[in-house]
Amino acid sequence: MPINLQMPALSPTMEEGTLAKWLVKEGDSVSSGDLLAEIETDKATMEFEAIDEGVVARIVVAEGTENVKVGDVIAIIAEEGEDAGDVEAVPAPAEKTAAPAAKEEAPAPKATPAPTAAPAAKTSSNGNDERLKVSPLARRLADQKGVDLNALSGSGPGGRIIKADIDAADGGAAPVKSEAAATAPTATAAPASDFDIPHSSEKLSSMRKTIARRLTEAKQTIPHIYLTVDIQLDKLLKLRSELNATLASRDIKLSVNDLLIKALAVSLMQVPKCNVSIEGDQLKTFERADISVAVSIEGGLITPIIKSADSKSLSAISTEMKDLADRAKDGKLKMHEYQGGTASISNMGMFGIKNFDAVINPPQAMIMAIGAGEKRPHVIDDSLQIATIMSATGSFDHRAIDGADGAQLMKVFKELCENPLGMLA
């Protein structure tokens, strides 16, 4: 019996997807675990694996097809011994039975008489209708004198033909329209500006549609509160340099973001009122800090998760983050690697952004936005000195996190970054 391959739901929010690419062709034999296709979901481009053995008898949905609904048949697999050329799709069980036929025919609606045609517009002797801009007196005179109204240029308001034009035409002195002028439009549309002419146009991808929908929902439904601190980074940068010197033999190089992930995770454990999520009328408090890290990929953004970041070593966070980021950009992440998380961090410092306000990713209740570390005048021990300063802004869901609790988290985060040995103790 042939097997229907259906469009899978590769994420909890996926309702439809794009069949980006087939990795097999009709006639190929497949086994469980073989890669069949690349499917663009609302999160990423992911690979679809076979769970049955057989021969690809028919590809129903061509690659590049958009808006394929979850559950739609995309291909048919013939089982061993079946003639691949004769298989047909197995009909899916009907969800609803057809409504019983009516016992009696509904009475036919009474015929209504067709409306009579409106009277035709009156025309002058030359066949021109009354919508021509002509005064009533000028029209009567034109009919009497046999003057062709279409050949005249009106001298009245708005080009209206008036009595003087008829009198002049009858005497041979009226300005007569040339043939080209008679057929030319009275006005030409102004040329569109460069702003009105799109230079390119493309459909939104499934990922971009989901980003648009979720961010709109977040800003419309979540009361954001923003809290910013300036952090002196010199000690953290020194610690990073020292750790990288010891980790060089293991081919591990810590980034500043690795240390910030650790600092946020430890902060959440020290201020558990911020390590929460809100779902409906339920407030959930988490016992570990799973940090979703924003990674920019082609066509959008995805947030792979460093689970239990509060208890992991910096070297483990660095290694795991590099692997997740590489696979995110290749569309190779598995669903559990980007679904969930208790809080997020988004770092735009590498672009030179000084500070920004990030949008919360529901059902999470906070996200930390990291700006660039830069040399700034800074007061140290009551004297003005130059230090490396970074601005960090926490966005908090005010329904779940009070301002004082958010401020406490920012204070702890600042202290850990400025005295980074504390996050390693």
List residues with catalytic annotation: 398
Place of tokens 């197995």: 90
Amino acid at 13: T
Closest Cα to residue 342, out of 409, 408, 414, 281? Answer: 409
**How is residue 189 annotated by DSSP?**
P
Place of tokens 């590049």: 64
Amino acid at 113: P
> What beta strand segments (E) does 162-281 contain?
224-232, 276-279
CA pair distance 231, 389, nearest whole angstrom: 5
Could you give phi then psi for residue 40, rounded to 5 degrees? -90, 115
Strand 300-302 and strand 54-59: pairing? unpaired
Paired tokens of 207: 């990922």
Could you give phi then psi for residue 199, rounded to 5 degrees? -80, -25
Contact 184, 153 (CB under 8 A): no
